[in-house]
Structure 1
Amino acid sequence: MKKMIILVAACGALMVAAVPAQAAPKNPVSVLKAKLVPGHGVRFTDTVTWSDGTDERGARDSKGAFQFGKKGVTAFDVSMDSGYEQERVISIGKTGYYSGGDLAGLLPEGKTWFKGTGGAIPDSWAQFLNPAEPKTLAALIKNGKSKGSSVTGSITVKELKAVSAWIAAARIDKEHEDIKISYTLTLSSAGLVSRARSSYTVTEDGESNMVTVDSRYTGWGSKVSIKAPDPNTVTTKFR
């Protein structure tokens, strides 16, 4: 009988050892921080749609890249196409370079870039959420509910300002701080954000419109080098 008990115990131990250990869930913020290597970054595309409640239209498509420093985004380059005009913004540190759109007819002859302040979202049709910022990503996960590979929630512009350099440097008026942004993040098997979909409603002249931005992120940690435009094409003055 003792031999039988020992044999059963031994078999039980073998069965337990044969079951593979379940990997601990990846912490997206920790995974992101490991990717923040100078000279590397991530590429993205944005699709912006606009709706007045009855009609929905494509407003703009964008594509670009973020370049990383040790703590987060240090530069970005984004090209925007609304179908009737093209714009491009290059931001390095706190300096921004702007080209195309309405600026095209305002710059001196031979100049194609205007130099000003940068470091923030290029305009109100860009993706307000920046999942390449650790503090921002942490706040989005905290505010949202996780289910499988998705995180769904909402956050106000004011709350974003407190954690996001991308928003804080945009100088958004206080009257817009109460705007609530609904979002869904999709995480890859590596624990990185592969998609961020956000929407918010803005009211102007008594009319409410919803803006939705659908962003895709690829090449996390790939080499990215963003440089300022040729100085000969840059100006700080208008005609």
Structure 2
Amino acid sequence: MKRIVAGLALASSAAFVTAAPAQAAPADPVKALKKQYVTGHGVRISESARTAAGSTGAVSITTNGTIGFGKSGIVAMDLRTGVKGAGSPLGAPPRMVTVGNYTYAKGGLFSDELPDGKKWVRYPNQTGGRAGSQPLDIFRPKVLKALVTGAKSFKGGSYRGTVTFGRLGRLYGEKVDKRLGKVAISYVLDVNSKGLVTRVRSEYRLDFGILGKTTSTVNTRYTGWGSKVTIKAPPADEVLDVSELGTESDVPQSIPDGSLNSLSAVE
């Protein structure tokens, strides 16, 4: 009798194991991203960045806005930036609109000395389509692929891993300062059931010897994927081209180029 009961128990266990459904593979984030590249549509971003630099205290930067897509990626941005602390290491304007080949800046130093009626300064587009303080540009498919395939783990919709500035530089086609090349950025990349990125959190530490140590943390959220987006250049009569500014003007002659070196306060 005991043998019969034991046999039934083993059979039940085997049936239970067989009946368990196989875990579905996660949706491919790169394929999901490329499907979003539709003219007239985009995504909203909300970002908080904090850099703590030894005895000089901490700087907090918030970025909020909208990104517009074309068939091959970002074609327009409308971003608002706020800074608290010892000053922005990026020099980002309080308001920045990028459309096509130009970026328009407004507020703070970018507006204080403009002629009457002028509210915006126009610059050649230097950002390369990179938004905010986040060094991990998930809008570039090859970068997103590297973060996904290079992750050490995937659990609960989150990819976790590390990537060096040197590796990012090669992906971006940028020459990274040798002091940064081996510095690792740890990251958490959250995706939804469709594979679309909902959040990226990155953190890295820099040590410049007697110049001190810094720790930077950037938390970026993405919402409203696929929503309709309209981003236009400011009215022409409110715009002054940077080339029209005199050499004695305090208005910045350029805006942040979004390079990895500038994001890491290395010039």
Assess same fold via TM > 0.5. yes
Instruction: Specify the alignment match of 1:157 in structure 2.
Output: 165
Instruction: Specify the alignment match of 1:220 in structure 2.
Output: 225
Instruction: Specify the alignment match of 2:203 in structure 1.
Output: 199
Q: CA RMSD in A?
A: 3.2
Contact conserved, 2:66 with 2:78, CA < 8 A, in 1? Answer: yes
Q: Find 1:136's aligned residue among 130, 134, 143.
A: 143
- 1:181 matched to 2:190? The reply is no
What residue ranges of structure 2 are gaps of 5+ in the alignment?
A: 1-15, 88-92, 250-267
Q: 1:113 to 1:158 in 2, by over 3 A?
A: farther
Instruction: Specify the alignment match of 1:40 in structure 2.
Output: 41
Name the SS for the 1:25 alignment partner.
coil
Please show how residues 116-131 of structure 1 align to structure 2 within 5 Å: 116-118=123-125, 120=127, 126-131=133-138
Instruction: Specify the alignment match of 1:75 in structure 2.
Output: 76
Counterpart of 2:222, as a letter, is: Y
Moved more, 222-231 or 55-64: 55-64
- 1:146 matched to 2:153? The reply is yes
Q: 1:219 to 1:123 in 2, by over 3 A?
A: closer
Counterpart of 1:217, as a letter, is: Y
Please show how residues 36-115 of structure 1 align to structure 2 within 5 Å: 36-52=37-53, 57=58, 59-83=60-84, 87-115=94-122
Q: 1:203 to 1:96 in 2, by over 3 A?
A: farther
Counterpart of 1:50, as a letter, is: T
Q: How far off is 1:212 after superposition?
A: 1.1
Instruction: Specify the alignment match of 2:32 in structure 1.
Output: 31
What residue ranges of structure 1 are gaps of 5+ in the alignment?
A: 1-14
Q: Find 1:234's aligned residue among 233, 239, 249.
A: 239
Moved more, 66-75 or 138-147: 138-147
Counterpart of 1:231, as a letter, is: A
Moved more, 176-185 or 88-97: 176-185
Counterpart of 1:154, as a letter, is: T
Quote the Cα distance in structure 2 between the aligned partners of 1:232 and 1:202. Answer: 44
TM-score computed with the length of structure 2 as normaliser: 0.70
Q: 1:83 to 1:206 in 2, by over 3 A?
A: closer
Quote the Cα distance in structure 2 between the aligned partners of 1:123 and 1:53. Answer: 28
Q: 1:123 to 1:206 in 2, by over 3 A?
A: farther
Quote the Cα distance in structure 2 between the aligned partners of 1:211 and 1:62. Answer: 15
Q: 1:82 to 1:200 in 2, by over 3 A?
A: same
Contact conserved, 1:43 with 1:219, CA < 8 A, in 2? Answer: yes
Contact conserved, 1:73 with 1:133, CA < 8 A, in 2? Answer: no
Q: How far off is 1:203 after superposition?
A: 5.2
User: How many aligned residue pairs are there?
Assistant: 220
Quote the Cα distance in structure 2 between the aligned partners of 1:228 and 1:176. Answer: 38
Q: How far off is 1:79 after superposition?
A: 0.3
Higher strand share: 1
